[in-house]
Amino acid sequence: MVDPATASRLQFAVTTIVHIIFPVMSMGLAPFLVYFTWKEIRTGSALYERLRRFWTKIFAVSFAVGTVTGLVLEFEFGTNFAAFSAAAGELFGGPLAVEGMMAFFLEATFLGVFVFGRERVGDRLYFVSALMVGLGTWLSAVWILVANSWMQTPRGFEVARESGQLTILLTDPIAAYANPRFPWMFVHMQNAAVLSVALFMAGVAAYHVYRRHHLGVVDEGNLDAEFWEATLKIALVVLVVTAPLQVLHGDAYGRHVAETQPQKFAAMEAVWETDSYVPEYIVAFPTSVDDLLNPRAKDIFGIGIPGGASWLASGGDAQAEITGLNEFEGSPPVAIVFWSFRAMVAMGFWFMLLAFWAGYRWWTGELFEDRLLQKALMASSVLGFLGVELGWIVTEVGRQPWVIQGVMKTTEGVSPGLTATEATLTLAGFVGGYLVLLSLYTYVVGRLVRRGPEGGDDELPDADRPTTPTAAGASEDD
């Protein structure tokens, strides 16, 4: 049996890590769907109609899974973190309730119209419903991040202790909810969602373009060539814009973290002793094998940029001082934060490189000819989602041991009456259940992606889909 606190934390970690995939898909797809719908209505083009239909399917599946996994998170505050919920409900519950009323209703009701209503409502209402779905997904993120940013950098409250019971009272709503962390989180998260979906789209389109241009797989009526080539170009335009932005505001966000959560920043850089001119390590390994699992190993072989971390923390001063982890009470699991941060940053630069590479090939007119580029895009198709996961790991693991920075420890937030048996049982259930859920989702989305859009040849049963018999890889199209 796992003790209730550890099981609850692991369970919350598992449920958030799985849940975040689906809102990222919805938030990232929403602007694309609004654009496709607008073009379809304005131009009457069959291409945009097919683009809208195809990506709406993926949106609908993601939304269904996102809804139920999100409900789990809402319930878990009460079931597993009752002490936190009772203490902080006055500040934390409000944004969640408003998220439901303001954002989730908007998204869920208009999604009904958007998915099922093309033949039932006029163009104008149909376009409005696309906009409302998009607005709903983004507003949802607003309220969740309002709640989360308050936990990271809490303000506008007073703490009362009555007979040992911690109660957090709202005293200044503007300070609490217009939190300085919020804009950084929101910009970085929304851009990440759009970037991740652009990468996914580009990867999927590259797969079909590659099969056509290099394996000679031809679909009937050339419809699919047009469809996938257009998809690739649209995705790349968005990628070229979002990839550099992600790196730019990520850098500024990091500086904000250094100012407001020095403990987290020290964990991101694995700085133990307060020091100035701190290097930014690209990789770091202990020189002794015995120290591999010791995050405080002294003899480190590292490749570092001298003064780099100081430079990042201060915004340009390589001599700046960084407060070491030793000065704080408790610390997060440093290795997880350190490596997640590094991997996320590396991915950010890779996405930028990929965007410039693809942009250059497009400019020289060789976009569909570059085999290596297409393979790179395919290989990167889900990396955006991985980057988001790593970013959230840095954010959430990095603020440990606090659930509310400087106010309440995570272990103090766990439900007092929870037994190890109950907690272990549900943890096991979630690990198993969510593995099944993720495999099913991957299977269904993978299948949609491989089969491509309807139209032209979609009346034929699977086995009869036309492909050139000589083409290698043609048979893998289930």
Report the site for another protein in 142-161 (rule: CB under 8 A): 158, 160
Contact call for residue 267 and another protein (CB under 8 A): no
Contact call for residue 98 and another protein (CB under 8 A): yes
Contact call for residue 433 and another protein (CB under 8 A): yes
Could you tell me the smallest distance in angstroms from the CB atom of residue 374 to another protein?
A: 27
Cβ atoms of residues 394 and 344 within 8 Å: yes
Integer angstrom CA distances of residue 240 from 186, 388, 422? 20, 18, 48
Other Cβ atoms closer than 10 A to 33: 22
Alpha-carbon distance of 237 to 39, in angstroms, equals 16
Could you tell me the smallest distance in angstroms from the CB atom of residue 146 to another protein?
A: 12
The interface region with another protein, picked from 168-176, 192-200, 262-270, 321-329 by CB under 8 A, is 168-176
Task: Output 74 or 369, the one with its CB closest to another protein.
Answer: 74
Could you tell me the smallest distance in angstroms from the CB atom of residue 229 to another protein?
A: 22
Contact call for residue 57 and another protein (CB under 8 A): yes
Residue of 20, 247, 248, 26 lying closest to 148 (CA atoms): 20
Could you tell me the smallest distance in angstroms from the CB atom of residue 138 to another protein?
A: 16
User: Using the rule CB under 8 A, which residue among 21, 82, 146, 199 binds another protein?
Assistant: 82
Contact call for residue 297 and another protein (CB under 8 A): no
Tokens 């570092």, residue located: 304
Could you tell me the smallest distance in angstroms from the CB atom of residue 477 to another protein?
A: 15
Integer angstrom CA distances of residue 435 from 6, 75, 199, 298? 20, 20, 24, 39
Could you tell me the smallest distance in angstroms from the CB atom of residue 444 to another protein?
A: 5
Task: Output 101 or 305, the one with its CB closest to another protein.
Answer: 101
Phi, psi dihedrals of residue 276, rounded to the nearest 5°: -115, 170
Cβ atoms of residues 323 and 273 within 8 Å: no
Phi, psi dihedrals of residue 408, rounded to the nearest 5°: -140, 130
User: Using the rule CB under 8 A, which residue among 6, 17, 38, 85 binds another protein?
Assistant: 85
Task: Output 444 or 471, the one with its CB closest to another protein.
Answer: 444
User: Using the rule CB under 8 A, which residue among 120, 289, 463, 475 binds another protein?
Assistant: 120
Could you tell me the smallest distance in angstroms from the CB atom of residue 293 to another protein?
A: 34
**Residue 370, token pair as written in the block:** 């570059």
Question: Mask: binding to another protein, 435-454, rule CB under 8 A, as x and -?
Answer: --x--x---x--xx------
Cβ atoms of residues 371 and 187 within 8 Å: no
Task: Output 111 or 367, the one with its CB closest to another protein.
Answer: 111
Contact call for residue 99 and another protein (CB under 8 A): yes
**Residue 470, token pair as written in the block:** 């000589």
Task: Name the β-bridge partners of 166.
Answer: 161
H-type alpha helices, 272-333: 308-314
Alpha-carbon distance of 230 to 180, in angstroms, equals 40
Contact call for residue 274 and another protein (CB under 8 A): no
The interface region with another protein, picked from 17-25, 69-77, 233-241, 323-331 by CB under 8 A, is 69-77
Which helix (H) or strand (E) segment holds residue 275: the answer is strand 275-276
Cβ atoms of residues 112 and 442 within 8 Å: no
Residue of 10, 459, 455 lying closest to 228 (CA atoms): 455
Other Cβ atoms closer than 10 A to 392: 21
Task: Output 97 or 346, the one with its CB closest to another protein.
Answer: 97
Q: Binders of another protein among 398-427, rule CB under 8 A?
A: 415-418, 422, 425-426
Phi, psi dihedrals of residue 53, rounded to the nearest 5°: -60, -45
The interface region with another protein, picked from 26-34, 79-87, 189-197, 303-311 by CB under 8 A, is 79-87
Contact call for residue 178 and another protein (CB under 8 A): no
User: Using the rule CB under 8 A, which residue among 6, 45, 67, 260 binds another protein?
Assistant: 67
